[in-house]
Amino acid sequence: MAGERLLPVLGPLEPLFPTQGLKRGSVVSVSGSTSLALSLLAAASAQGSWCAAVGMPALGLAAAAELGVALERFPLVPTPARATGADGWAWVVAAMADACDVVLARPPRRLAGADARRLTARVRERGSVLVVAGQWPEAAEVQLAVVSAAWEGLGQGHGRLLGRRVEVLAGGRGAAARERRVALWLPHPEGGVRSVEVVGERRTHARRVVS
């Protein structure tokens, strides 16, 4: 797998990327949804790639497994800055990027621009993919943001959360600069990620489930 330039993503997520997949050596930022960030890892992980998460102590790991991330190939460093100070985060991310195909990381609040640039260069050189959950000091190659989300299935005291329709705004630099809007089921009521066929329609109210 190391020789290929693209890491796969789940089919419904392909339209988010100008390359239809995660380009090795690139940085992708995701804001507004942890489950979207996790689902970017799912296809690569299922194909045998090692992924890692750094600086995300609140990551829902049962949800990660549910989305298709192989937990046995998903080492975690929840609190990287504990022993080494602020630059511990950058050091750990760089080390993980040496070994793993995809590194999911939440940057510390005050990440220096120079650290971010150095990491970007390191990732490019190593051919791994850095998925940033949150804000990245410099412009990431692909930037994803969940702009609206509506859960279905939950009623006034009955039902339960079943599925969620989200609209993802994809932008970035270079080939990704042209904005795209993609409507997704994240997750679909039957599990997994699916694309919503009718893009224009949007619902603001949750549908009631009458059981």
Partner 1 sequence: MSAVRTLVVWCPDWPVVAAGLASVPAAVLASGRVVACSAAARAEGVARGLRRRQAESRCRGLVVVEHDPAGDARAFEPVVVAVEAFTPEVEIVRPGVCAVATRGPSRYFGGDEALVAVVAAAVDGVLPEGAPACRVGVADGPFAAERAARGGVVVPAGGSAGFLAGFPVSTLGDVDLADLLVRLGIRTLGQLAELPAPAVLARFGPAGEAAHRLARGLDERPLVARTAPLELTVVAELDPPAERLETAAFVAKGLADRLHDGLTVQGLTATRVLVEAEWEHGERMGRRWRLDGNGGRGAAALAERVRWQLDGWMTSASVGDQPSGGLTLLRLVPEEVRPDDGRQLGFWGGDRAAAERVARVLARVQGMLGPEAVVTAVPAGGRSPAEQVRLVPWGERPPPGVDAEPPWPGRIPPPLPATVHPVPVPAEVTDAQVSIAGGRWSAVTAWAGPWPVDERWWDAAAHRRRARWQVMTAAGTAHLMSQEGDHWEVEATYD
Q: What angle do CA 165, 6, 179 make, to 5 degrees?
A: 45
Choose, by CB under 8 A, the member of 23, 122, 164, 194 that binds partner 1: 164
Q: Is 100 in the site for partner 1 (CB under 8 A)?
A: yes
Which residue of 18, 87, 95, 127 would you call a contact of partner 1, by CB under 8 A? Answer: 95
| Residue of 34, 120, 128, 143 that binds partner 1 (CB under 8 A) | 34
- Cβ proximity to partner 1: between 20 and 46 the closer is 46
CB 101 within 8 A of CB 129: yes
Contact at 8 Å (CB) between 155 and 209? yes
Report how far apart, in Å, the C-alpha atoms of 166 and of each of 116, 149, 183 are: 29, 4, 6
CA distances, 66 to each of 22, 69, 175, 193 (Å)? 21, 7, 32, 11
The single residue among 16, 42, 92, 119 that binds partner 1, judged by CB under 8 A, is: 92
Partnered with residue 168 across adjacent β-strands are 146, 182
Q: Is 149 in the site for partner 1 (CB under 8 A)?
A: yes
Residue 196 has which token pair? 């919503």
Q: Which is nearer to partner 1, 20 or 31 (CB)?
A: 31
CB of 18 or CB of 162, closer to partner 1: 162
Interface residue list for partner 1 (CB under 8 A): 1-2, 32-35, 38, 48-50, 57-66, 70-80, 82-84, 88, 91-92, 95-96, 98-100, 148-151, 154-164, 187, 191, 206
